[in-house]
Amino acid sequence: MRKPFAEIAVALPIESTFTYSIPEELEGDAALGKRALVPFGKRLVTGYIIGLHASPPPGIKEIKPITDVLDAYPLFDEKRLKFFKWLSSYYFAPLGDALSLIHPGAANLKSSRLIRAAADVEVPGGLGPLEASILEAVAGKGVSIPALKKRFSGKPVYSAVSRLGKKGLIVEEGSIEGGGSKKTERLVKLLDKGADEAVKAPLQKNVLAFLNSAGGEATLGALVNGLGNGARNAVARLEEKGMVRIEERRVHRDPFSAIAPRQVLFEPNAEQKSAIDRIAEAIVAGGYSPFLLYGVTGSGKTLVYLKALQKAVEAGKRAIILSPEIALTPWPAAYLSALFPGRVALAHSGLSDGERLDEWQKAVEGRADIVVGARSALFTPLKDLGLIIVDEEHETSYKQEDGVRYNARDSALMLAKHIGITVVLGSATPSIETFHNANTGKLAPLVIRNRVDSRPLPTMELEDMRGKKEVVSERLSSLLSETLAAERPSLLFLNRRGFGSSIICRDCGRRFECLNCSVPLTLHKGRRKLLCHYCDLSIEAPSLCPDCSGANLASIGAGTEKVEEEVLRILPNARVGRMDRDTASLKGAARRIIEEVEDKRLDVLIGTQMASKGHHFPGVTLVGVVSGDTSLNIPDFRSTERTFQLITQAAGRAGRGSDPGHVVIQTLNPGHYCFRAIMAHDYDSFFRDEIENRRELLYPPFTRLCVLRFDGLKEGEVVKSANAVKRAAEKIIAAKKFEIFALGPAPALVQVVKNRHRWQILLKSREINPLHSLVRALKAHFEAGKSRVALSIDMDPATVV
């Protein structure tokens, strides 16, 4: 039966789907799961075919045709479509936005509305200043409406453009953008290997000789590099004589060129082998099989991942492995590229647009068996997917903070459930929700109690910093000196970058706050800048107070820069490195820093959490936690859990080689149960204390949370909108008899960011369905008000199973 109508979800923030007709010439190409270029208003946008039908829905009068089908292969099937519908529903996102996660942004096609001055039209007098300025701006070239809005900020651009259009002074035209650019190179092919005898010109003879020695073909770039720029003209003459042919050949932009393959040199021990066998059995059996791989730091979870991925490929399946940070992806990629040469793809935002597009196409076309990446790699459309691994599943970086606000760990579980495959969550410090689900049978636990080769866990020492002013205690300084004398590297952990958290004038009390955000500016002494870590505002660090002209300016708190300065004072001859967002933001920088530690070219590495998790430093014997209280005092019910995870992960970098490790934790709260559990390497006791607190206070895993965030330029409007939604929530809760608590509205932890005021309402429910029902009703209520305030909806991570 012919199905000449397609249901399309467009890649725009629109809840509805739309029906388009399929032109007869495209009927053979249109299929569920493919992208289509479709007209939408006055432009063309990318849409996703989510259904084919024999007839349109009743009541539709005008149906536009699809312009083109964009994919040779479907990007999703019925099972994955159900998953994306769940993603759209659970995170309150339009289906088109959810489906757009399946490909890099560079692969998206859309048209833009360009405004151009009409040709051969006499400009009348009497134009307003804005109209005249716009007409001048679009003379001779097309300019988009957003570009005009940015240029004439705060002025009524739309109405001015409308008036110019009615006067016939401008015309609109469309421009297709996106789709990604393909990199090509010019290949010169030899057509007659004996042709050089008929050629007299020396350079042409050299070109032919070069091609003969290269097997009959070479890139034009190689010829120019070998023979000089004159080779270009020589090739052109040879092409005219019919002796060579020039072809365009696509070049794959390969991010693996900077990653050296690493061989797996270890064999699994008994605990590792047991875990590998359980995962392999599940892959072969098929069906939804969720596991928690829970092993102490240094227990060899990475080897379990690698062997499990190998088992998946041997079973004819493909797999995805997620890392919480881009900086952690090179190591599994290096090991996997040795196991599966040319069959591994990378997927994360640290790649260039071209690299990301090429790696994605490699996966779509079936040329990759394994995809390694950060959270967005989960949505790569691999065929025959049989295994998903989420390493360091507890990490908060798996939460997407804009667009579709998904959690990659929770989404990985639901994707595995929808398509019926194996999923492994791994961590030495599982989230409370994940460990609870393992204890209640929702996840199968795979436990590794011992380090590789039965190496001991590091010895622990708590340094009470009450009453002390130094950044690095005398005890830690002494240990750093001893470790340097023994020619062993040390790691110092502090989860705050910059020199100090802020500066203050000790004469008049002047503080330096961001002009756009309600936070103090952070001192970055090396750059002599005060920076905002929220909006990136940057000003010169003053030498005198601008209020009282006093020179008594002091930094408050300590960041990684200050620790670096202190370590260089204590150890003036040490080779000291720093790994934080300031030093590791450039492409490949994090990998180079880690390699310096591995190659023993650094004596002390100072870093934030990006230096403390997932890395294997065999030579590090001393780890110092400069401030164990940094995350403990954050007003968040997960602050204690986060502190336990951060410090345990940092401590786990010590003693991973043949020499034993030692950890010093500096704290102002030595009696806190979090530190007692850390000192004893006892996650189980920490979990027991924390789960009881959660039970008593009705926090996850015993409830589901949703945060409604309101933000706008005027605080009064934000508060008014938040209060209106709160009143609506109370009415719905009472009418439906929902057991839901609505708390707030209250200011967000950082109340102003980028000049936008932020307030929030916290919804707390024991059951997910009533919570979703309430949030949908509140979203509809808010949108009906047509407020200038923005609403975002954040579902709290819950290890959905």
Write the pLDDT tens digit of every residue in 782-801.
999 888 999 999 999 876 66
Question: Which band of pLDDT confidence, cut at 50, 70 and 90, is reported for residue 110?
Answer: low
Amino acid 154: pLDDT: 66
Residues 6+ apart with CB under 8 A from 166: none
Amino acid 182: pLDDT: 67
Q: Is the pLDDT of residue 120 over 70?
A: no
Residues 6+ apart with CB under 8 A from 160: 128, 130, 131, 134
At residue 192, the 3 state secondary structure works out as: coil
H or E, element range at 247: strand 244-250
- Check residue 206 and report its DSSP letter: H
The amino acid that residue 118 corresponds to is: A
Instruction: Find the distance separating the first CA and the last CA of the chain, reported in whole Å.
Output: 39
The amino acid that residue 574 corresponds to is: A
Closest by CA position to 707, among listed 618, 580, 793, 634: 793
CA distance 307 to 610: 25
At residue 48, the 3 state secondary structure works out as: strand
Q: Is the pLDDT of residue 611 over 70?
A: yes
In DSSP notation, 700-765 reads TTSSEEEEEEEEES-HHHHHHHHHHHHHHHHHHHHHHT--EEEEEEEEEEEEEETTEEEEEEEEEE
Q: Rounded to 5 degrees, what are φ and ψ at 689? A: -65, -45
Question: Which band of pLDDT confidence, cut at 50, 70 and 90, is reported for residue 708?
Answer: very high
The amino acid that residue 102 corresponds to is: I
Place of tokens 């060129």: 257
How distant, in Å, are the alpha carbons of 302, 303, 613, 702 from that of 268? 11, 7, 22, 37
23-37, 119-133, 431-445, 711-725: the lowest-pLDDT one: 119-133
Closest by CA position to 517, among listed 263, 755, 190, 255: 755
Amino acid 114: pLDDT: 74
Helix axes 78-90, 408-419, angle to 10 degrees: 150
Beta bridge partners of 186: 248
Residue range 275-313, pLDDT digits in tens: 999 999 999 999 999 999 999 998 999 999 999 999 999
Q: Is the pLDDT of residue 700 over 90?
A: yes
Mean pLDDT of the chain: 90
- Check residue 347 and report its DSSP letter: E
Torsion on CA atoms 30, 31, 37, 39, rounded to nearest 10: 80
The amino acid that residue 778 corresponds to is: L
Amino acid 265: pLDDT: 79
Amino acid 425: pLDDT: 98
How distant, in Å, are the alpha carbons of 34, 499, 547, 605 from that of 580? 41, 12, 33, 10
SS (H, E, C) 516-561: CCCCECEEEHHHCEEECCCCCCEEECCCCCCCCCCCCEEEECCCHH
pTM of the model as a whole: 0.85
The pair of three-digit structure tokens given for residue 721, joined into one six-digit string = 């909108």
